[in-house]
Amino acid sequence: MSATSDQTIGSGESAPDASAADADAPAVDTVDPRFASLPQRPGKIIAVHLSYSSRADQRGRRPADPSYFLKPSSSVAASGSAIERPAGTELLAFEGEVALVVGTEARDLRLENAWAHIGWITASNDFGVYDLRGNDKGSNVRSKGRDGFTPIGPELIDARAVDPAALRVRTWVDGELAQDDTTVDLLFPLTQIVADLSQHLTLEVGDVILTGTPAGSSVVAPGQVVEVEVDAPGAPGSPSSGRLVTRVVAGTHEFDASLGSLPAVDDTQRAEAWGSREAAGLPAEQPAPATAGAEASAASARPTLDPSLRERLERTPVAALSGQLRQRGLNNVTIDGVRPLHPGAKLVGVATTLRFVPNREDLFASHGGGQNAQKRAFDAVGAGEVIVIEARGEAGSGTLGDILAIRAHARGAAGIVTDGGVRDIDAVTAVGIPVYTRGAHPAVLGRKHVPWDVDITIGVGGTTVQPGDVIVGDADGVIVIPPALVEEVVDAALAQEDEDAWIAARVAEGHPVEGLFPMNADWRAKYDAAVLRESTHFAPAETADAPQSAYFRGAPENGDAR
């Protein structure tokens, strides 16, 4: 195989040194044709789940950090090879990617030296068959680990000759361009991916890192040809991997149902594999049947939070809001027993409600399928709204999973609160939308629940929630505020927060809490004078250096201990 430039190598040529490589690079494997484009058979192949902005936008979620899965080296194939779509499957999808080949052993790297341990880059195609994702989604063992499912090559590009942020990956199907993106669009730079992996495991010479695919991945069928090319058009000589060519053929081996689960697909998998419902030939999502009109009317009639009110609520601790509601005679306004998946995130929004009733098989048969109440709620949620789910405190099954969390996030929902369980909890957490739940459970909804109704008054976590109620959550929990009281309550809570901060500063100066917390008449007069004198919420301390941080939050209630 001839090199395309002086920065590339192919089979039969010596691999170039990485910047920190040994003088003698590993020899190209000339025995097994699958590894002809690589310096040697890789000890491990590590792939990134979601890394390009364009793909993340297509999926409706942006992960905060990279996540990975492993592929066996037996899945590697050379350019010109055929890939079998397994018998009984329909959703074989291509994913053109930049492949990194480790040039020198690496452990605990930093961003600034990570690229020096990459010897070469080339093209790869991370094929997967969605029909086999059901039981091992995330690990992708069966869906992406099959023989021939990782074509790599045909040429290697010297990593020293290129900028890792200026690589281009393109994919063609039957000669038509399907994917075209650059590494500048990555959510996580290539150097971060390498350094992150190195802090968990040793990267050995010849290991391959597949760095994720951009938007445009779709389904291919037997008879089609897929080509992937990685190049660096801005580098001297415009080095290229050449086109990695793979032919799709039909497999004939039938799966044995007695050994494991069989291929299975649904419309959700079809839409994900093809890239959209339209590309999959599916009808556009329709408004909910039967009660769709009433639900749409209810949704449009729900109040919204103006930006100023939302900002004030976001600044106000739930404990402070609880204290103000208690002073107004409202004690039973917390959704008890739920904890946040994102403890540092604040939840503020207007309630839209979903009710589940206990499972009864005949009712699940009539109400659990199709565009049921659960799916209607997630399809109808509006921007800034919180889906509140009545599950009767039953945590013995999931009340939502990652697909519905993605749907709510894509529609701009402020969050989700359920007094039941959450399925696929790691994937739900990765979506990034604030979720409060009683905990994780692997079972599907139908084990314990029937989706019954939406936008009605419900009971959740020991309190009542109505559509339009204001929902606020933080690490202390979730509170429900009647809309008519929200302005009054939040302003009073913020004022009390300022007062508590002033008290905390006095305690920090050495004053005892007696007479100060809560304030007696003398301290109250001092506080009022300080506020008047400074015309600011935080009065300066009598000692100029006194701290102003609020050590205690929330209004004191008849001397309640904090």
- pLDDT-above-70 percentage for the chain: 86
Chain center to CA of 318 = 26
Class of domain 310-481: alpha beta
Dihedral (C-alpha) 73, 75, 76, 82: value to the nearest 10 degrees? 170
- Residues in Cβ contact with 242 at an 8 Å cutoff, skipping those fewer than 6 apart: 4, 8, 79, 123, 153, 154, 155, 229
Residue ranges per domain, the chain? 8-274, 310-481, 483-553
Work out the pLDDT band at 371, boundaries 50, 70, 90. Answer: confident
The mean pLDDT value of the chain amounts to 85
Q: Which two tokens stand for residue 462?
A: 């020991």
The average pLDDT across 38-63 equals: 89
| Residue 403 marked as a ligand binder | yes
Give the confidence band of 285 by pLDDT, cuts at 50, 70, 90. low
Task: For residue 256, say whether it is annotated as part of any ligand binding site.
Answer: no
Q: Distance between CA atoms of 317 and 216, rounded to whole angstroms?
A: 44
Question: Which of 54-58, 295-299, 453-457 has the highest mean predicted lDDT (pLDDT)?
Answer: 453-457
Q: Does position 531 have pLDDT exceeding 90, yes or no?
A: no
The residue among 548 and 287 whose pLDDT is bigger is: 287
Per the annotation, does 325 bind a ligand? no
pLDDT at 559 over 60: no
Would you state the pLDDT for residue 541? 42
- pTM over 0.75? The answer is no
405 vs 396: CA distance, rounded Å: 19
What pLDDT, on a 0 to 100 scale, did the predictor assign at position 349? 95
Mean pLDDT of 371-392: 94
199-213, 257-271, 360-374, 423-437, range with the lowest pLDDT:
257-271
Taking the CA atoms of residue 262, residue 266, residue 269 and residue 275 in that order, the dihedral angle to the nearest 10 degrees is: 140
Q: What is the CATH number of domain 8-274?
A: 3.90.850.10
List 526's β-bridge partners, or say none. Answer: none
pLDDT value, residue 286:
54
Asked if the model's pLDDT at residue 18 lies above 60, the reply is: no
Task: Indicate if the pLDDT at residue 13 is higher than 90.
Answer: no
**What's the pLDDT tens digit per position in 166-201?**
999 999 999 999 999 999 989 999 999 999 999 999
| 111 labelled binding-site residue | no
**pLDDT at 90 (0 to 100):** 92
Give me the mean pLDDT over the 141-155 stretch: 95
**Phi, psi (degrees; rounded to nearest 5) at 499:** -65, -45
Reply yes or no on whether the pLDDT at 534 is more than 90: no
Given this model, what pLDDT does residue 118 score?
97
Residue 338 has pLDDT above 70, yes or no: yes
Determine whether the annotation assigns residue 498 to a binding site.
no
pLDDT at 561 over 50: no
Say what percent of the chain tops pLDDT 90.
Answer: 65
> Is 404 known to sit in a ligand binding site?
yes
pLDDT attached to residue 291: 46
What residues have CB less than 8 Å from 272, skipping those under 6 apart? 59, 130
What's the mean pLDDT in 57-83? 90
> How far is it, in rounded angstroms, from Cα 555 to Cα 493?
7
541 or 278, higher pLDDT? 278
Residue 323 near residue 555 (C-beta atoms within 8 A) = yes
The region of weakest confidence among 269-278, 386-395, 426-435 is 269-278
Helical H segments across 432-539, by residue range: 486-508, 521-534
